Amino acid sequence: MKIAVLDWSTMCCGNDISPDIFRKFGDLSVFPLTSPEDTADAIGNAEIVLCNKVPITRPVIDKCPNLRYIGLFATGYNNVDIRYASEKGITVCNAGQYSTNAVAQQVFAYILDYCNRIREYDSLVHGGKWESSPCFSYFPIPTSEIYGKTLSIVGYGSIGKRTAEIGNAFGMKIIVNTRTAPTNCPYETADLKTTAQKADFLTFHCPLTEQTKGIVNSGLLAEMKSTAVLINTSRGAVVNEPDLADALNSGKIAGAYLDVLEKEPMSSDTPLKTARNCIITPHTAWASYETRMSLLKIVADNIRSWINGSPKNKVN
């Protein structure tokens, strides 16, 4: 069996992990990155293709008649033509829940960054401000507790649930908005408008669909408190970037923390690059060593299960 890995560089920090785990399944070809125009040639006559973000489109599938399995180094699968893969009898498996703890951790890194202002205070200390302070405690920048604040969560899958659990442990008030009514949910649930209105922190953990694309727009942002902070670690296209930039620059909301953008790598002309109080990280919430190792094992287990006739994490 032949296996093609199309974008291994997206899995590595340097060479800290190896793709050798997949050699047990067959003849392995590994490409650091693959452009859309080279995708079909890279797959060639492989039966298995593994990728993170490389588009597997209808034309690609048509040029690769041996393809039987697509494995994703990701939870999202919007880069694959799922419907056409199904028509062709190709199994598609994602790696659901591999990043649950890591992404929830990043959400609270953002929240704590906003409330505690550690970066700003470190800068002041290294600039000599504490040394020249007449008082033992130097705090010209307001900070705040997260205890008692309202954390509104859009999307109540594994990451949304973990984020709610951590927020609850911090003593935050949790409000959940989800497409389907959750069972045994211990938190308040509300429609999207109410969820936004009540939020001190509004965090998104929903998949990118026709319904969620651009859901963060001028209308929703107008419902938020001027003191509220938006967080997006889901998919960039959930946010209408010009609308969010306008809301930040006009003070309609207090800040935004984003780990994803509509175009990645970031376009130099995105209005969010220069927007006020907008912190952007380069899609790193999932990228800890421990999380990537977990992802690697899930993808390998998915292949093994498919070979054994009982595929796990099948999305089609």
Catalytic residue list: 235, 264, 283
Locate 83 and state its tokens. 């419907």
Buried/exposed 163-190: b ≥16 CB within 10 Å, e otherwise:
bbebbeeeebbbbbbbeeeeeeeebebb
| Pair 216, 260: CB distance under 8 Å | no
Which ranges in 50-201 belong to alpha helices (H)?
58-63, 82-87, 100-116, 118-126, 158-169, 192-198
**What is the greatest pairwise CA distance in the chain?**
75
> Which tokens belong to 146?
């997260």
When computed from its CA atoms, the radius of gyration of the chain, rounded to whole angstroms, is 22
Q: Which helix (H) or strand (E) is 174 found in, with range?
A: strand 173-177
Closest CA to 226 of 200, 206, 202: 200
The residue type found at 138 is Y
DSSP category for residue 257: E
Whether the CB-CB separation of 87 and 61 falls below 8 Å is answered with: no
CA distance 312 to 13: 27
Q: Give residue for tokens 């780990």.
A: 259
